[in-house]
Amino acid sequence: MDIMDQQLAQAMLAEVEQTQQRSGRFLGYWRQGRIIQIWGLVWMAAHLATFFLPARSGSIWLVCDAVGFAATIWLRLRSRDAASSKHTDRRLLCAALILLLFGMLASLLIGPHGRAIEVLWTCMAMTGYMLYGLWAGLRWTVLGAAVMAASLAAYFCLGPWYDLAMAAAAGGGLLLGGTWIRNAR
């Protein structure tokens, strides 16, 4: 094999590897986009129900979060294959656990201040999205930043309309963002 053939073979192998990486990223976008869409619907339903039944907020969120987690687990198990589970980075799971534990501690320190706790958890979830974007792609970071900014604006500026705004901004943002991520090309 002469030098030209070796260079051509190396270039072709590099192109195949690049195509494989892009295909894997887009398959991940497609699979995870469904989960984001589910959480958009969950957040939308929870915020709308909280707006109309504020005294039942805790129960509403407990039920909605349970539905969201059950749907997430079901979708993850349903779409699991050897390739996707092999590439799951355990550090991402540990980072999510650290954020969860920090959120629980911060919630205890803040006390029973409903909206403040809610915005804290929203910002933490979106921080997780932005950090995940460092591994998985810019769309995650953009989605996390947009939903976080909308949530903070609703918290500081919209007072009694907060839950309606959050249904549209956070729930709708995740629903649209999941569609955007799922349709990545």
In a domain, residue 100? The reply is yes
In a domain, residue 159? The reply is yes
Alpha helices (H) along 53-160: 57-78, 82-86, 90-110, 114-136, 138-157
In a domain, residue 75? The reply is yes
In a domain, residue 13? The reply is no
In a domain, residue 46? The reply is yes
In a domain, residue 3? The reply is no
Q: Exposed/middle/buried for 93, CB within 10 Å: 0-12, 13-18, 19+?
A: exposed
In a domain, residue 6? The reply is no
Report the distance separating Cα 17 and Cα 25, nearest Å: 12
**Are residues 144 and 128 in contact, defined by beta-carbon separation less than 8 angstroms?**
yes
Report the distance separating Cα 17 and Cα 164, nearest Å: 46
Domain extent at residue 125: 21-182
Tens of pLDDT, residues 27-54? 566 668 899 999 999 999 999 999 999 9
Q: What count of Cα atoms within 13 Å lies in the side-chain half-sphere of residue 136?
A: 28
Tens of pLDDT, residues 106-137? 888 888 777 888 899 899 999 988 988 888 88
Comparing 13-22, 66-75, 136-145, which segment has the lowest mean pLDDT? Answer: 13-22
Tokens 């030098």 belong to 3
**Are residues 14 and 122 in contact, defined by beta-carbon separation less than 8 angstroms?**
no
Q: What is the pTM of this model?
A: 0.75
**Are residues 183 and 40 in contact, defined by beta-carbon separation less than 8 angstroms?**
no
In a domain, residue 80? The reply is yes
Q: How many domains does the chain have?
A: 1
